[in-house]
Chains A and B, each alone.
Chain A
Amino acid sequence: MLARLDSSGIFGLDAFKVEVEVFLTKSLPSFHIVGLPDKAVNESKERVRAGISSSEFHFPLERITVNLAPADLKKEGPAYDLPIALCILLATKQLNVENLEKYMFVGELSLNGDIKRLKGALSMAINCKNEGKEYLIIPKENAIEAAMISEIKVIPVENLNQVVDFLSNKIDIKSVNIDRKSLLKRIPNDDIDFRDVRGQFQVKRALEIAVAGGHNVILTGPPGAGKSMLARRIPTIISEMTFDEIMEVTKIYSISGLLSSNSHLMKNRPFRSPHHTITDIGLIGGGNYPKPGEISLAHNGVLFLDEIPQFGRSALESLRQPMEDGKVIISRNKASFTYPSKFMLIASANPCPCGFLGDSFNKCRCSHYQISNYKKRLSGPLLDRIDIHVFVPRLSKEDLTGDSDNESSADIRKRVQKARAVQRKRFLKDAISCNAHMNTKHISKYCKLNEDAKRLLEMAIEKMGISGRGYYRILKVSRTIADLDKSEDIKINHISEAIQYRISDKKYF
């Protein structure tokens, strides 16, 4: 006897239709799953057997063959438990229903017949819609996430018996309806705010410029100066994600199993801070059963590499291409797929091995060679993608104990949003969205300088030994400063401020 149902499997970030077929023959009892199952899928056998028995159905003593088509794509995860169980019930006539072509089934079974939540529900829902299905039977905990796709009816289920009863029309389960607006409403996070950081006016200004123009930043400074604290607050001054961005990020987090049971959506921009022992695969993604890496988890958000010289060379090298392209391409035998990875990079480093170079109070104990060897760890190509460098000093006692009349993140965010709006307008016909992504063509079009400014920049190049790449970086940063200053032209004071944030050998990064 043959039974067939449709399910969904994850490949990369998207889901694809998986046809679950079950074939029973009267032979010695055995249970096989074919279709390149991974270990979790293989273990389905035990869960299905127990789930069916616990639900007071009869588990057939026959030769059971399950096929997960297409046969040449790897299948992973426990999502097929539910369709396999249902197919067995159909094949043994314990469930008598026809016309299930409009349905798609996903769910993990526990040994007592309960249906447990899954990863990648949003992608599966999108796939369900794309396949022209009408109904998606999905674990209750994933229902709200899946219901973001309004074109399908999402049926939340809790256990196997409930599914059988629903399909047999013995009970009715209402499809989930969500109020998109209220779901997307962002709850202001009062926990962290730029106001928490005392003093550090130059750093805050540098970060404001960085976020306004999408520029990557490196923070250097002595230990304890507050680099991590500042980095963590950067997401609070970035504008809120658009609906599409929220969908993208939610997909990635759902597939990685990182959505918490309370939040069905990733509403806030992600902030990822991997430890420096991370491998390249951990950083950019991949592996035997490919998973998104940290850079994809930081998509549309911030990737914070604390103590960047401590990161492995190959891990840092692997960052270069994704930073250039905004995505990472993973190739496997039969296919390649891409994970998006458009993030803002914030790096932090000590200025030298002992950490006290440039400190007004403590003396640096490093020899010249120690310092230059330490600097060398940051490869040129990676530094090339960082536009802004700012030194984070230790706070003076006045700053620590005095009254702070600091700006809040909200105030800074307003200015940033205005500058971003200017850029959106500017780049309407170009393929980029912010100043940091300008190439030389864009720069020569949008960053024209008047005589004064040009002369200043030339003087700076000569006196400060600025390279060609450095020159372009200064132009991009000064364009952002001019945008923040609501000025259409780049004036001399924009250039001279931009020069402050340059990266150079002599300035210790």
Chain B
Amino acid sequence: MKKYEKEILVMKIMAVRGMTPRKFYLLYKEFNELNKIWNFVRKNNQLEFKFKNDQNNELNIHNTKNSFSDKHNIDIWVKSQIIRLKKMSAKIMLFDDLNYPPLLKELYSPPPILYYMGDKLTNLSQAISIVGSRRATKYGKSAAYQLANKLSSLGITIVSGFARGIDTAAHIGAKDEIGGTIAIFGNGLDICYPKENKDLYKELIGKGSIVSEFPLGTPPERLNFPRRNRLISGISYGVVIVEAGERSGALITANFALDQGREVFAVPGAIFNENSIGVNRLIQDGAKLVTSVDDILEEFGLEIKNIKDYKERKRRKSKEEIRKETKKETGYKKSLNIDSLIKNLKNEEKKVYFILDDFPQHIDEIAKKCDFNIAKAGDILTLLELKDIINCHPGNRYSTKFIKGI
């Protein structure tokens, strides 16, 4: 076989309009050889093809009216894809590759071709996905960050969708630790969507992996995202939903996970918050409630290998003690760092700090409650903000931080 001949064939087949992984495997079952599949597919138009052993499986393939209507164009397209992939140092992984993620292989119709950059995809040992709302609150982002950070430090790779909000917080939490992170795109690898994540995009190429089912140049269209979500849940042991509104895309990912037999976890949210409706409902429907990494690790105790710390400690201590310890480290309470900072505050700064809590308050209210004039209140709040222990919300409202730095 010529170099990349196999990859080229798969790329061409998958490029046909209407082609899906499921149809690909049906064709593969029927023809057994990629060459034959390609020859069949490109000749036939609007074909109803009934398979011998299956009951009434219709294969509806339309030859595209645009770029791939004749042989020349698709060859040119494939050639340019290969060149561009090489330029970006991006790689291709096919369904029969030795390194193909094992969990993904278990799926009903795993993606026949994956485009990726970075080396996490090939070194994938165990993964857990963290997804959530795009309109995330500071609470949700803190939770996602912290969970991702801790899990990654234990060697677990965090998979997420690179979307704004929870996904980004999870990637950031995980990228600098051992497990690293994998971002699954709903568009071509050459497109950075959302644009604000440009820096993260560059980092992930070095510190993790970026993976996509879609060829280069595919724009982030709505229809691509369910396919991407399927990948997010399929590649990992389970999915943690951190914040999800009533109709969040994260819930779709949760559904895929259930279909695929993966675990579904959910971090609960404040009952008054719109962003918690989906997540709290999941818990009511049976998803496991997560307050720390421990709740996640428990479920996989025996299946997750190479978690040295965890296993060691588990051997030596009782479950209770481990629970206490990991809770302290995961920091669902305010971290120790913040406590020591608070001790060092001046009296008037303390006065202001203790007026604050999770719910944002406007500076006028704070000034009134502390009985300071507005100039002084503004001065102190800026100082506290610079010390990184309070959050400033739009509208000049302030609340305490959950974790220093987030």
- Give the interface of A toward B (CB within 8 A): 199-202, 204-205, 221, 351, 357-360, 363, 368, 390-391, 393, 396, 399, 456, 459-460, 463-464, 481, 485, 493-494, 496-497, 499-500, 507-508
Chain A positions within 8 Å of B395 at CB level: 221, 351, 357-360, 391, 393
Given contacts A357-B394, A360-B362, whether A202 and B374 have CB atoms under 8 Å apart is yes
CB distance from A309 to the nearest CB of B (A): 16
When chains A and B are docked, how far (Å) is the Cα of A463 from the Cα of B383? 12
Given contacts A200-B364, A205-B375, whether A499 and B394 have CB atoms under 8 Å apart is no
| B386 contacts the other chain (CB 8 A) | yes
Chain B positions within 8 Å of A500 at CB level: 363, 378-379, 381-382, 396
| B164 contacts the other chain (CB 8 A) | yes
Closest chain A residue to B164, Cβ basis: A368
Chain B positions within 8 Å of A204 at CB level: 374
List 8 A-B pairs, Cβ < 8 Å: A199-B364, A359-B395, A368-B164, A393-B396, A464-B386, A496-B380, A497-B378, A500-B396
A396 and B365 within 8 A (CB): yes
Q: Count residues of chain B with CB under 8 A from any CB of chain A.
A: 29
Closest chain A residue to B387, Cβ basis: A459
Chain B positions within 8 Å of A360 at CB level: 360, 362, 395, 397
Per-residue A-contact encoding for B361-381, CB less than 8 Å = 1, 0 else: 011110110000011101111
When chains A and B are docked, how far (Å) is the Cα of A508 from the Cα of B134? 18
Chain A positions within 8 Å of B194 at CB level: 368
Per-residue A-contact encoding for B150-171, CB less than 8 Å = 1, 0 else: 0000000000000010000000
B376 and A493 within 8 A (CB): yes
CB distance from B26 to the nearest CB of A (A): 39
Chain B positions within 8 Å of A494 at CB level: 379
Chain A positions within 8 Å of B374 at CB level: 201-202, 204-205
**Most chain B beta-carbon neighbours within 10 Å: one of A351, A390, A396, A499:** A499
Per-residue A-contact encoding for B236-252, CB less than 8 Å = 1, 0 else: 00000000000000000
Chain A positions within 8 Å of B378 at CB level: 202, 205, 496-497, 500
When chains A and B are docked, how far (Å) is the Cα of A98 from the Cα of B247? 93
When chains A and B are docked, how far (Å) is the Cα of A485 from the Cα of B374? 13
Closest chain A residue to B388, Cβ basis: A463
Given contacts A201-B367, A360-B360, A463-B388, whether A497 and B375 have CB atoms under 8 Å apart is yes
- Given A393-B362, A496-B378, output 18 extra A-B contacts at Cβ < 8 Å: A201-B367, A201-B374, A202-B364, A202-B396, A205-B375, A205-B378, A221-B395, A363-B274, A391-B396, A399-B364, A481-B375, A493-B379, A496-B379, A496-B382, A496-B383, A496-B386, A497-B378, A507-B392
Per-residue A-contact encoding for B389-406, CB less than 8 Å = 1, 0 else: 000111111000000000
Per-residue A-contact encoding for B338-378, CB less than 8 Å = 1, 0 else: 00000000000000000000001011110110000011101
When chains A and B are docked, how far (Å) is the Cα of A494 from the Cα of B378? 10
- Give the interface of B toward A (CB within 8 A): 134, 164, 194, 274, 360, 362-365, 367-368, 374-376, 378-383, 385-386, 388, 392-397
- One of A202, A464, A508 near B363 (C-beta < 8 A): A202
Chain A positions within 8 Å of B365 at CB level: 396
Given contacts A493-B376, A497-B375, whether A358 and B382 have CB atoms under 8 Å apart is no
A456 and B364 within 8 A (CB): no
CB distance from A487 to the nearest CB of B (A): 12
Chain B positions within 8 Å of A351 at CB level: 394-395
CB distance from A416 to the nearest CB of B (A): 14
Closest chain A residue to B361, Cβ basis: A360
Given contacts A201-B367, A496-B382, whether A508 and B397 have CB atoms under 8 Å apart is no
When chains A and B are docked, how far (Å) is the Cα of A370 from the Cα of B396? 21
Closest chain A residue to B359, Cβ basis: A360
Closest chain A residue to B393, Cβ basis: A358
Closest chain B residue to A502, Cβ basis: B382
B364 and A393 within 8 A (CB): yes
- One of A391, A456, A507 near B386 (C-beta < 8 A): A456
Chain A positions within 8 Å of B379 at CB level: 493-494, 496-497, 500
CB distance from A80 to the nearest CB of B (A): 58
Chain A positions within 8 Å of B394 at CB level: 351, 357-358, 391, 507-508
Closest chain B residue to A457, Cβ basis: B386
CB distance from B346 to the nearest CB of A (A): 12
Chain B positions within 8 Å of A393 at CB level: 362, 364, 395-397
Chain A positions within 8 Å of B383 at CB level: 456, 496
Chain B positions within 8 Å of A459 at CB level: 386
Chain B positions within 8 Å of A396 at CB level: 365
When chains A and B are docked, how far (Å) is the Cα of A441 from the Cα of B324? 60
Closest chain B residue to A371, Cβ basis: B394
A460 and B381 within 8 A (CB): no
Chain A positions within 8 Å of B397 at CB level: 358, 360, 393
Chain B positions within 8 Å of A485 at CB level: 375
Closest chain A residue to B165, Cβ basis: A368
Chain B positions within 8 Å of A358 at CB level: 393-397
